[in-house]
Structure 1
Amino acid sequence: MELRHLRYFVALAEQLNFTAAAGKVHVTQSTLSHQIRQLEDELGCRLFDRENKRVTMTQTGEAFLERVQNALREVDEGIWAARLAADEMSGVVRIGTTHTFNMRIIPRCVSLFLSSHPSVRVNVMEMSGDDIAAALLRGELDIGVTYKPRDASQLRFEPLYSEELLLAVGESHPFAQRRFVRTAELHLQRVVLLPPTYATRTLLDECFRMANATPVVVAEMNAIAPMMELVSVTDIAAIVSEHALRRDDVRVIPLESPTPVRSPGLLWRSDEARSPAARAFASVIRTVSNGEGASKRRRRDRKPAPAKRGTKA
């Protein structure tokens, strides 16, 4: 049974005339008659009585008609919704992202998205994670790309992948030539960190507690670029994302025992329907992020094993 059989059946049920029904569905009378006969053969019962060019519905046909009309109504509404969604792939999609993602992932996502949806304008705003959450709740953003905020009770967080945080030091720092540094070794080391209001700072403080380390926080900054500038000209260390601004005069070194790991993700309002453009952009972010996660796993697999005791780390 195909959809056209049902449409032909409804047309004939409404017209009770093969010529008029055939005209309504734009087929020949013989085609309509053949299709109705196919439907009756498949159902194993008569839907219409034909007597002296007079067409009437059987009791079975009457019972079948109501269900078919309901089914076709659902199908037509689905087709309309799909076409409407395709037509709506325009307008503006508003993205809030932190500095780390805006450096490489988001530009790639915008490029891929616009190549498929050139009629949509993309607005990208660089903000802190808490500001992204607040802007989403105010309805000023469609999507957030950030780490899970401290208060996400009215938001839905969708993790994308996991990334390690690395120790960043200047060329003259005692750790500059190390292959890895244990978190416990940061005890009493001078560091610059994000302010306590950031979720990443909460994660780092927990790692310090687990390692029984108390670094000396000599500065707090809410932007990566000035952090790296400070690191490059002093003996102050920082802990940053592996996507942080890379400089020739700054070394980045893996941290171990424990390794700080955080998960970036998509942030949505949980009580709001998403526009077709926002859903399409989120799909691109997932695709690009899957590639990021795979490349990280390959780099970790290639990473040399830690030096044994007595060898140079």
Structure 2
Amino acid sequence: MELLHLRYFVAVAQELNFSTAARKLHMAASPLSRRIKDLEGELGHRLFDRDTHKVRLTAAGTALLPIARGVLEQVDSIQWRLDETARPQRTTLLLGVPSGIHPDLRMRMDTLAERVGDRFEIKRWPGGTDRLVDAVCDGRLALTLARLPVGGDPALEQLPVMSERLGAVVPRDRFPGRESVALAELADLAYAGSPTAVTNAYFRGLDRRLSDLGLKKRIELSSVTFDGVSEIVASGLAFSISMLDSRSPVQNYRLDNVTVLPFSDFHPTLETGLFWRKDRADGGDLEEVVAAAREVFADRLLA
């Protein structure tokens, strides 16, 4: 098995579309499809179910995806890890950062980096919450910010750092001049989950709560970004849920016919925590950094 096969597999798994994945890989769809078939033959498992309309991961493909991503992340980090050996005067630590982090949290990350800068160089590592927390558990990351809730691993310790109010992302022309919206007013719109919904326990739970409250319609998007969700909302087909604070980076993806309104009868809140391994903080290599982090993030932010 070659690394390229894993890169091809991850690209198709992310896009669930061979043509789109091929364009991103700067190759044609036909040879990409052959490489995937070669990988399936070598592994002895079908990784994708394909028909003329959709591409889906099989159970084997779903199991392989986090493994392949982990292998590629390790390989891609070889160069900078080797480069860091030329700077032994400071230890490099990786701090995980999920998407859409509020600017106030970024300022506190900067403060932490300055506070420990004499001995440690903190670099940020992006990713989804589940993968970032796993990377802290196995030692690839020193600390991570993560969207709560997170599975209760007894090896981890967490510090709540921010609470953000969420609102309804709706077509502006459907709710002109409004200051809030009720759940019942969204009943004829489908719910389009955020780009992090699949890998974020909070948004998976939020989807179930909306269903329990009577909002059953869904738009399933196999590959989506924040701007993609805005396009669906702006067209009047759906609503979504996102941060209310205008300074949140996800607000940058709003289109002219999209607005974010607070709910009048529903009050969802997204919590963010800082995680680290207890054994690395209690007398371990992160003791100094965690002590500084406890001070920097002592007062939970509200937005």
Q: Name the TM-score, length of structure 1 as normaliser.
A: 0.55
Which residue of the partner structure matches residue 95 of structure 1?
Answer: 95
Asked if structure 1 preserves the Cα contact closer than 8 Å seen for 2:230 and 2:255, the reply is no
- SS, match of residue 140 in structure 1: coil
Which residue of the partner structure matches residue 252 of structure 1?
Answer: 260
Asked if structure 2 preserves the Cα contact closer than 8 Å seen for 1:207 and 1:258, the reply is no
* Counterparts of 1:203 and 1:216, CA distance in 2: 15
Size of the alignment, in residue pairs?
Answer: 202
1:166-206 CA-partner distances (Å, limit 9, x unpaired): 1112433x135321112233324123104444212233124
Letter in 1 for 2:264: E
Asked if structure 2 preserves the Cα contact closer than 8 Å seen for 1:183 and 1:255, the reply is yes
Asked if structure 1 preserves the Cα contact closer than 8 Å seen for 2:129 and 2:199, the reply is no
Instruction: State which drifts further: 161-170 or 272-281.
Output: 272-281
| Residues 244 and 126 of structure 1, relative CA distance in 2, 3 Å threshold | same
- Structure 1 residue 254, shift from structure 2 partner: 0.6
Which residue of the partner structure matches residue 160 of structure 1?
Answer: 161
1:215-239 CA-partner distances (Å, limit 9, x unpaired): 3334366643432344345543211
Aligned match for 1:266, one of 250, 268, 274: 274
- Structure 1 residue 144, shift from structure 2 partner: 1.4
Q: Based on CA coordinates, which of the two structures has the bigger radius of gyration?
A: 1
* Counterparts of 2:188 and 2:278, CA distance in 1: 43
- Structure 1 residue 116, shift from structure 2 partner: 3.7
Alignment of 1:104 onto 2:106: no
* Counterparts of 2:294 and 2:97, CA distance in 1: 13
| Residues 258 and 130 of structure 1, relative CA distance in 2, 3 Å threshold | same
- SS, match of residue 263 in structure 1: strand
Which residue of the partner structure matches residue 231 of structure 1?
Answer: 233
Aligned match for 1:219, one of 214, 218, 221: 221
1:124-173 CA-partner distances (Å, limit 9, x unpaired): 1121111111111110111111122442324333323432211112433x
1:75-132 CA-partner distances (Å, limit 9, x unpaired): xxxxxxxxxxxxxx9422321121121x513431243234444433121112111111
Structure 2 stretches of 5 or more lacking a match? 1-88
RMSD: 3.0
| Residues 208 and 220 of structure 1, relative CA distance in 2, 3 Å threshold | farther
Which residue of the partner structure matches residue 124 of structure 1?
Answer: 124
* Counterparts of 2:147 and 2:209, CA distance in 1: 17
* Counterparts of 2:178 and 2:137, CA distance in 1: 44
- SS, match of residue 156 in structure 1: strand
Q: Name the TM-score, length of structure 2 as normaliser.
A: 0.57
Alignment of 1:285 onto 2:278: no
1:38-57 CA-partner distances (Å, limit 9, x unpaired): xxxxxxxxxxxxxxxxxxxx
Note the 1:169-208 alignment, pairs <5 A: 169-172=170-173, 174-194=174-194, 195-208=197-210
Asked if structure 2 preserves the Cα contact closer than 8 Å seen for 1:156 and 1:268, the reply is yes
Aligned match for 1:275, one of 261, 270, 287: 287
Structure 1 stretches of 5 or more lacking a match? 1-88, 297-313
* Counterparts of 1:270 and 1:209, CA distance in 2: 37
Runs of 4+ with >6 A deviation: none
* Counterparts of 1:117 and 1:272, CA distance in 2: 16
| Residues 176 and 159 of structure 1, relative CA distance in 2, 3 Å threshold | farther
Which residue of the partner structure matches residue 22 of structure 1?
Answer: none
Asked if structure 2 preserves the Cα contact closer than 8 Å seen for 1:94 and 1:123, the reply is yes
